Amino acid sequence: MPHIRNLQPTRFRNESSSVFLFGQRMNITKSQLKQQFERAKSLGWLPYFKEAAKTTKNHFDEADLMAIGSRETNLDPKWLTKAGDKGNGFGLLQIDRRSFPEFTKTDKWKDASGGILKGAQVLMQKWHDFEQNIGKSLSVRSSKGMTYRYIAKAATGSLAQKIAISSFNCGRWSQFAHSCGQDIDSYSTGHDYAADVMARAAVFRDLLKSSLSTNSETENSREFNTHTPLNEVVEKSGDGRGLSDELNEAENPAAPPAQQAQTADQITNISSGSKTVPDDFTPETKVMDAPAASGVTAKLGKWTAYLGLGVPSLAGIGQAVKSLYADGTISPAEIFTVISSVFKYVLPYSVYIIFGIIGYKIVKTAFVQASFMLRMFLNASADKHDVEIAVKKEDALKR
């Protein structure tokens, strides 16, 4: 089975269109994300995200990790001092103590760099779990003990990234949703986890670019002020500007070109209205459960109807028999004879009918399950074939 990461390029998206790939919609405004970014920058966290992103082998970048942290904790340093998610989430990226007790038992989560690095490692675990199980028969279990089986379906590029990011929140339920043709975020918190994270990442990516551009211009201005002799400045000013103009530009670099901000501005699906982050914001709650079994509500309604009709009918029959007995129309011996006849002639056929219905249900369920597994297997085989063709094409291009 070829690994998805062998496909190049691994990102399959560009900064100007990534937000439109899945119709992502953020539940936070761009201005709030900018505030989070500036706070992370002032606290010295940006290098931590950059170093952690290197461990993902180009599958994810620092913007992706920042977006996860934004979704989980708003990148608020208060979550370096206490647990979230009802005592189960630790650190800026809310590492779950039920899955990673060896990490959460230490104080590493209280250090921003340690928590960010662990978050990147967890994200890559989700990536590898997905790519290594393509075509295999797997199952997920709900908190109510219901088991749902599926054959893991392949995915590449941004779709594979979205599955891994959603898995960071809800585990293999994102794989299950993808393999069953459902929306990947169907079982994630808010039903929008990965889409929201990827939309935030697009904004953070633009902010990182702008920050890098501003830093570069600032460094150039420092070098200009420190090392450039005055006579060279005068000689280089051949456009009619004076020395004061040159020095003024060096001390106050121009804002980045408007094109550098176009990526974030192109996100038209983001609501800039009244959606704000409350002061008592708490991180994501990762308690997952599957949806109710299909048809349960309908079955309950059907049995309610049966009981609503059956109980009054039986009560009416009982009352009629009681009245006939009181009037002397029928005797106890006749009642006993009727009941005996029912048990003797009708009951055996009722048992046959009941067993027949049970057998039919079993055969039907087995057939439906077998058909589903066959369809999933055929889909996985087709996807595997597509991946192999893509790998061969990439190998041919490399040669």
Q: Are residues 114 and 207 in the same domain?
A: yes
Is the pLDDT reported for residue 281 higher than 70?
A: no
Average pLDDT over residues 71-100: 92
Q: Are residues 223 and 332 in the same domain?
A: no
Q: What is the pLDDT of residues 339-384, one digit of tens each?
A: 777 777 777 777 888 888 999 989 988 887 787 778 767 766 666 6
Instruction: Report pLDDT for 4.
Output: 34
Q: Are residues 40 and 69 in the same domain?
A: yes
Q: Are residues 226 and 368 in the same domain?
A: no
The predicted model scores a pTM of 0.54
Is the pLDDT reported for residue 94 higher than 90?
A: yes
Q: Are residues 342 and 263 in the same domain?
A: no
> End of a domain among 243, 267, 291?
291
Average pLDDT, the chain: 74
Q: Are residues 341 and 382 in the same domain?
A: yes
- Confidence grade of residue 72 (pLDDT, cut at 50, 70, 90): very high
Q: If we measure between CA atoms, which residue out of 224, 233, 294, 286 comes closest to residue 252?
A: 224
> End of a domain among 291, 311, 341?
291
Number of domains in the chain: 2
- Confidence grade of residue 133 (pLDDT, cut at 50, 70, 90): very high
Give residue 228's domain range.
1-291
> End of a domain among 234, 258, 291?
291
Is the pLDDT reported for residue 29 higher than 80?
A: yes
Q: Are residues 218 and 317 in the same domain?
A: no
335/361 Cα distance (integer angstroms): 36
For tokens 């057939």, the residue is: 367
- Lowest-pLDDT choice from 90-94, 187-191, 257-261: 257-261
Q: Are residues 45 and 28 in the same domain?
A: yes
Q: Across 1-15, 36-50, 132-146, 282-296, which has the greatest mean pLDDT?
A: 36-50
- Confidence grade of residue 161 (pLDDT, cut at 50, 70, 90): very high
318/310 Cα distance (integer angstroms): 12
Instruction: Report pLDDT for 331.
Output: 74
Instruction: Report pLDDT for 175.
Output: 94
Distance set, CA 117 to CA 36, 124, 165 (Å)? 19, 11, 15
Q: What is the pLDDT of residues 285-339, one digit of tens each?
A: 444 444 444 445 555 666 777 777 777 777 777 777 777 777 777 777 777 787 7
Is the pLDDT reported for residue 221 higher than 60?
A: no
Residue 281: partners with Cβ closer than 8 Å, 6 or more residues away:
74, 76
Q: Are residues 232 and 144 in the same domain?
A: yes
